[in-house]
Amino acid sequence: MADDRTVVYVGLRRSLLEWSAELDAATRSGAAVQVCSDVDITHTGLPEGSITTFARSGSPADLAGEIVEDLRRAGRTPLAVACWGDRYVPITAHLASELGLRGVGLAAATTCTDKIAQRNALQSLGLNPGWWAGTTIEELRSAVDAMELPLVFKLAHSSGGRGTTLITESTDLDDVLKLTSLNYVASDAFVVEEFVHGTEHSVSGVVGAGTVKILGVSDKLVRDCGFDTWATIVPSALTDTQVHQLERAAEQAVHAVGVESGGFHVDVRLTDAGPIALEVGARLGGDLINSHLIPLASDSRVQPYRALVDVLTTGVLPEDATYVGSAAMLVVPASRHPMDEVVDHALAHPYAHTAVDWSTPDSTAVAVVISTAVASDVVGLIEDVQSWMRW
């Protein structure tokens, strides 16, 4: 291969604000970037030589082999590989293994993309809610009969809450089971969990040779029985003792699933009895936490995407996180005006850092990022922005 030092990214993050920030972190380290995707990403504006495509079907090992051959033909010398999206985690792990690079590891990749395997890994730590797993309607009915309603139905292989639904007395279980068709691998597997009451948080960090470094703990404000996050705040407003509980739980969870080197996020509910893990992801999470909120709240002292590149290329972990302010992302409905007008209006707010279209097939919304040097002001600012966006 030619001496073209490259950081390889597999997949693509949802938001331009995230994937452009992550690519920028790699280029600032002096590396070239290569994005490998199984969908069309020409809209990114990346140079043609920086994009590699691969098939949408095949085993992770086979797809990784395909990517390696493409990289060799392109004369790329990978320094590190990372991924965007849970379904790309196994491919990335195989890719790192084949190239002899640091990565989350094949075992961790398998566990973190299978919610049943995750629950088994966490069982001895006391971080699980009550849960059942299955593949059939009979097993689903048995789970519902065995636990107290409401319950949470999750696909065993999904990301971003896809297919997650609340089971109540009026729920048609046959319709619920059909959601397994949304698994991102061919599988009928599902998990049914007790609904966990408590505050929701996400712990972000990196791992180097098995050593966990926490970069940030965020508060997530949710609606609709906890499935829809409408605001995310960094750093957490919990007490130091509570934050330490979450950090300890996340560290235990990351070790339990076996992440070796790379990024992670652990979504947690803090209950009266202690932390309950909702999900362990073998990649840095979304919601602009790592691209915007952590850097803004730390006055750029903490840069998760750069920390990920560093730990994958050199094995060096970042310094302890230091926060000097607060930052938040809130998702605001935006159906009354054209999106460009909504974004412009959001950016006119004096504390707005950026705003972007955050629409989904089910809703039209804008994400607004705000920051303040006074952490205690952030909740009031969120309320002010909500009022501002009702113009």
Start and end residues for every CATH 3.30.470.20 domain found in the chain: 200-388
DSSP string for 322-336: --SSEEEEEEEE--S
Q: What is the pLDDT of residue 224?
A: 67
Please tell me the distance from the alpha carbon of residue 72 to that of residue 4, in angstroms, as a whole number.
11
Going through 27-176 in order, the beta strands assigned E by DSSP cover 32-37, 51-53, 77-84, 131-134, 151-155, 165-167
Torsional class of 224: left (φ above 0), alpha (ψ -120 to 50), beta (otherwise): left
Q: What is the pLDDT of residue 141?
A: 97
Q: What is the pLDDT of residue 4?
A: 65
What fold characterizes domain 200-388?
A: D-amino Acid Aminotransferase; Chain A, domain 1 (3.30.470)
Start and end residues for every CATH 3.40.50.20 domain found in the chain: 5-101
Neighbours of 278 (CB within 10 A): 23
Q: What is the signed CA dihedral for 326, 226, 122, 140, rounded to 10 degrees?
A: -170
What fold characterizes domain 130-194?
A: Dna Ligase; domain 1 (3.30.1490)
Residues of the chain with pLDDT under 70: 1-4, 224, 226
Q: Is residue 387 within a helix (H) or strand (E), and if so which, with residue range?
A: helix 378-388
> Do the Cβ atoms of 83 and 9 come closer than 8 Å?
yes
The one-character DSSP state at 319 is P
Q: CA angle, 191 as apex, 187 and 192 as ends, to 5°?
A: 145
Query: Class of the 5-101 domain?
Result: alpha beta
Start and end residues for every CATH 3.30.1490.20 domain found in the chain: 130-194
Please tell me the distance from the alpha carbon of residue 226 to that of residue 246, in angstroms, as a whole number.
18
pTM confidence score:
0.94
Please tell me the distance from the alpha carbon of residue 132 to that of residue 112, in angstroms, as a whole number.
17
Going through 272-382 in order, the beta strands assigned E by DSSP cover 274-281, 326-333, 352-357, 365-372
Please tell me the distance from the alpha carbon of residue 14 to that of residue 60, in angstroms, as a whole number.
21
